[in-house]
Amino acid sequence: MSEFEDKVVIITGAGGGIGKAHALEYGRRGAKVVVNDLGGSVDGAGEGDAADRVVHAIRTAGGTAIANKASVSDRDGAKSIVEDAVRVFGTVDILVNNAGILRDKSFRKMTLDEWDLVVAVHLNGSAYVTHAAWQIMYEKNYGRIVLTSSGSGIWGNFGQANYGAAKMGMIGMMNVLALEGAPHNIRVNCLAPGAATRMTATIPGREFDPENPPAQSAPSLVTPAVLYMTSEDAPSGTCIQAAGGHYSSAAMYSNEGMTLGPDADFESFLDNLTPITDMTSAIQGRQAR
């Protein structure tokens, strides 16, 4: 028996790549899976039957799954994903926010429409679906939520200002929701994945066949981290990086700094620049003041 047996799991953007790998593994472990995917292209255009194909694969293997093809960036569409889970399976236990698109350009060449669209899908879309699921989890005093961040947000990546901003936004949302969810046994974590998918195949220098990704970069190698972050003993407020079978944690650190008081000015700031900026003795989290 798996601890995910009969858990109701929603995975957005699960028609391919990392989301598909998550969906197949939850299905294999006995979960009831809601496979959400608009089915469009990497840039978010069009619709397709990607969700249906993943549902078919789960059912063929003996699992339980339904498809939802709504866009997470549409408030009513995002709400319908959770409504479908409740209508068919009665509740929602686990939510993995995975849906995303790319509109990569250097910031100088990026249009504000390209900025808005990427932020709408990644950041707003995750908030919309999470908000719908949150009400249910809050009342039942149980929930596990994963927000998908990225190294582009945490560390930066050229040509992805829109994507990186949205992905770093996931960290901020996690930090707050982990606090708000704690009294109700809702645990919220971030995944920063790396894998060979349709999306990463569009990045210059990384061209490959997304239908036959390199084994060392298989999307399935990301899924163990997601299972951990949605398990009964899951942490909360943790960001785990997972790529190619390597797993690590990323966290915010702060130093003790220097109190300059009400007479602080530019000159005194410069005089104390070393203790203000030196991170040698920094610790994880925010230092007490």
Cα gap 85→35, rounded to integer Å: 10
Mode of pairing for the β-strands spanning 283-284 and 253-254:
antiparallel
Say whether pLDDT at 215 is over 70: no
> What was the pLDDT predicted at 199?
54
> What was the pLDDT predicted at 287?
81
Q: Which two tokens stand for residue 40?
A: 């469009």
Element (H, E) at 147: strand 143-148
Active site residue 163: yes
> What was the pLDDT predicted at 195?
87
Task: Collect all residues with Cβ–Cβ distance below 8 Å to 279 and sequence separation of at least 6.
Answer: 253, 255
Cα gap 285→16, rounded to integer Å: 35
pLDDT tens-digit series, residues 170-211 = 999 999 999 999 999 999 999 999 987 555 545 555 565 656
Main-chain dihedrals φ then ψ at residue 230, nearest 5 degrees: -120, 10
The residues facing 283 across adjacent strands are: 254
Cα gap 142→187, rounded to integer Å: 8
> What was the pLDDT predicted at 201?
47
pLDDT tens-digit series, residues 62-75 = 999 999 999 999 99
Q: What CATH code is assigned to 8-251?
A: 3.40.50.720
For residue 251, the 8-state DSSP code is -
Q: Which two tokens stand for residue 79?
A: 């709400």
> What was the pLDDT predicted at 39?
81
The residues facing 249 across adjacent strands are: 240
Among residues 163, 228, 247, 253, the one annotated as catalytic is 163
- Residue 150 near residue 101, CB atoms below 8 Å: no
- Residue 51 near residue 34, CB atoms below 8 Å: no
Cα gap 108→48, rounded to integer Å: 33
CATH 3.40.50.720 region(s) of the chain? Answer: 8-251
DSSP H helical ranges for the chain: 17-28, 50-60, 75-89, 112-119, 125-140, 151-154, 161-181, 223-229, 266-271, 273-277
Radius of gyration of the chain measured on its C-alpha atoms: 20
For residues 206-219, give the mean pLDDT.
66
Sign of the C-alpha dihedral, residues 97, 88, 41, 197? Answer: positive
Q: What's the whole-number average pLDDT of the chain?
A: 92
Q: Which of 65-74, 153-162, 190-199, 216-225 bottoms out in mean pLDDT, i.e. has the lowest? A: 190-199
